[in-house]
Structure 1
Amino acid sequence: MTWTELVMAAAPTKGDQPAVSDVRTGEVVSYSAFVRRVTRAAAGLRRQGLRFGERVLVNVPLGASLPVAVHSVAWAGGVAVLGAAGTARMMITQRDHDPAAAKVERVFSFLPAPGATPFGDLLNSGALEFGPLAGPAIAPDGRRVLDHDELAADLRRVAARLVIGKDDVVINAASGVFRGLRVVDLAMMSGAHVVIAHEPSLVGCRVLAQERRATLVVAPYDVARRLLGDPVLRVIDERAVVSSLGM
């Protein structure tokens, strides 16, 4: 089972239950909607000529759109390069991009942007039912490339250690895009509901955890340390989700 397959594995049983909630935008993506968007966008990228192993710049902040963008590229057989700079034929952004930093031919944007094609246009036809069996999948820092087997094996190891359950509500207060993405991956492969916080502060995490009846918080070390001792919340230092990848 590849990395993206592992992340989507709970979808048949979770269906329209929430997978990812974005506090900033209010968007809630269900498990079934996530699979639908990823597989259709992957088909759209293939129609645009994306080749196996080809790099696609992904400049999308941590939120509900990030895992859709990254896993669409991976499911299409491409390599999602996290960042706003570089050279590639295609780029996926939240809104704008800097042409001087990102030298690309096509830009797909989740929000309206001059010269960009709406990301939604990639969803206009059938789904790509089968992704790659293996191969490169993501470049978290633009240089090191992680493949499907490595990412899937690491997810299984971390999931076994952290034990996230299908009924958990996870506050994702990770401080970086890749760390935040790994929290989403871990929560979804377990069938949990992950709520993405955009203010990884002690007060912000406590308020959000109470509002969402959260059972688990993943946060930067300083915040996680001060949250320890809460009788309701399990607290995880964000470094635990990427340490086995050496990041």
Structure 2
Amino acid sequence: MTWTELVMAAAPMQGDQPAVSDVRTGEVLSYAAFARRVTRAAAGLHRQGLRYGEQVLVNVPLGATLPVAVHAVAWAGGVAVPATAGSARLMISQGPYDPTAFKVEQVFSFRPAPGTRPFSELLAEGAHEFGPLAGPALTLDGVRLFDHDELAGDLRRLATRLVIGKDDVVIAAVSEPFRGLRLIDLAMTAGAHVVVAHEPSLVGCRVLAAERRATMVVAPYDLARKLLGDPVLRVIDERAVVSSLGL
């Protein structure tokens, strides 16, 4: 089972249950919507001529749209490159982008922006039902490539250490998008619900956890240390979700 297959595996059972909620935008991504958008956007990328192993820039912040963008690229056989600058033929953005920082031919944006095409265009026709069996899927620097087997195997190992169940509500108070993406991946393999917080304070994190009836929070060391001792929350240092990848 490849990386994206593993993350989508709970979708048939979880259906319209929330997978990712974004506190900042209010968007809620269900399991069914995630699987549908990933497979349809992958088909759209193929229509744009995406080649196996071709790198696609992903200029999308942590939230409900990031896992859709990254896994659509991987499911299409491309290599997702989370980036704030770079060169590639294709890019997926959240909204406006700086053309002096990015050298790209086509940009598909989740929000209307000059010089971009709507991400919804990628969803227009059919779905790509079968992703790659293996091969490169993601890079953070354009040099070291993480393949499907490595990313899926790491998720399985993480699941034995950071046990998450389908009834868990996990607050993602992480410091950067890739750590948040790995946490979302991990939680989705279990059918859990991730609530993405954005740079929360200690009080803000506690309030959010109470409002969402959270059972777990993953946060930077300093914030995690202050949250320890809560009788309800399991508190995890964010480094735990990427340390086994050597990051």
TM-score, length-normalised on structure 1?
A: 0.98
Alignment of 1:95 with 2:103, yes or no, is no
Give 1:209 deviation, angstroms: 0.3
Take 1:174 and 1:51, find their aligned partners in 2: how far apart are those partners? 33
Counterpart residue number, 2:109 = 109
Q: Secondary structure at the match of 1:96?
A: coil
Counterpart residue number, 1:36 = 36
1:208-235 C-alpha deviation (Å, 9 max, x unpaired): 1000000000000000011010000000
Task: Give the letter aligned to residue 32 of structure 1.
Answer: A
Q: Is the 8 A contact 2:175 2:199 kept in 1?
A: no
Task: Give the letter aligned to residue 48 of structure 2.
Answer: Q
Task: Give the letter aligned to residue 141 of structure 1.
Answer: D
Give 1:113 deviation, angstroms: 0.4
Q: Is the 8 A contact 2:174 2:199 kept in 1?
A: no
Give 1:115 deviation, angstroms: 1.2
Structure 1 stretch 227-236 or stretch 78-87: which is displaced more?
78-87
Counting only pairs closer than 5 Å after superposition, residues 101-180 of structure 1 correspond to structure 2 as 101-180=101-180
Q: Secondary structure at the match of 1:132?
A: coil
Take 2:66 and 2:246, find their aligned partners in 1: how far apart are those partners? 22
Q: Is the 8 A contact 1:200 1:220 kept in 2?
A: no
Counterpart residue number, 2:79 = 79
Give 1:25 deviation, angstroms: 0.6
Counterpart residue number, 2:62 = 62
Give 1:199 deviation, angstroms: 2.4
Task: Give the letter aligned to residue 48 of structure 1.
Answer: Q
Q: Is the 8 A contact 2:59 2:92 kept in 1?
A: yes
Take 1:190 and 1:80, find their aligned partners in 2: how far apart are those partners? 23
Q: Calculate percent identity across the aligned residue pairs.
A: 79
Q: Which runs of 5+ in 2 are unaligned?
A: none
Q: Is the 8 A contact 1:200 1:223 kept in 2?
A: no
Q: Is the 8 A contact 1:174 1:200 kept in 2?
A: no
Q: Is the 8 A contact 2:74 2:138 kept in 1?
A: yes
Give 1:201 deviation, angstroms: 2.3
Alignment of 1:16 with 2:6, yes or no, is no
Take 1:207 and 1:85, find their aligned partners in 2: how far apart are those partners? 35
Q: Secondary structure at the match of 1:146?
A: strand
Q: Which runs of 5+ in 1 are unaligned?
A: none
Alignment of 1:236 with 2:245, yes or no, is no
TM-score, length-normalised on structure 2?
A: 0.98
Counterpart residue number, 2:7 = 7
Give 1:202 deviation, angstroms: 1.3
Give 1:203 deviation, angstroms: 1.5
Q: Secondary structure at the match of 2:230?
A: coil
Q: Is the 8 A contact 1:228 1:235 kept in 2?
A: yes
Give 1:205 deviation, angstroms: 1.1
Task: Give the letter aligned to residue 176 of structure 2.
Answer: G
Task: Give the letter aligned to residue 57 of structure 1.
Answer: L
Q: Secondary structure at the match of 1:155?
A: helix
Take 2:215 and 2:93, find their aligned partners in 1: how far apart are those partners? 32
Take 1:77 and 1:210, find their aligned partners in 2: how far apart are those partners? 40
Superposed structure 1 runs of 4+ greater than 6 Å apart:
none
- CA RMSD of the aligned region, Å? 0.8
Give 1:143 deviation, angstroms: 2.9
Take 1:14 and 1:141, find their aligned partners in 2: how far apart are those partners? 34
Give 1:141 deviation, angstroms: 3.2
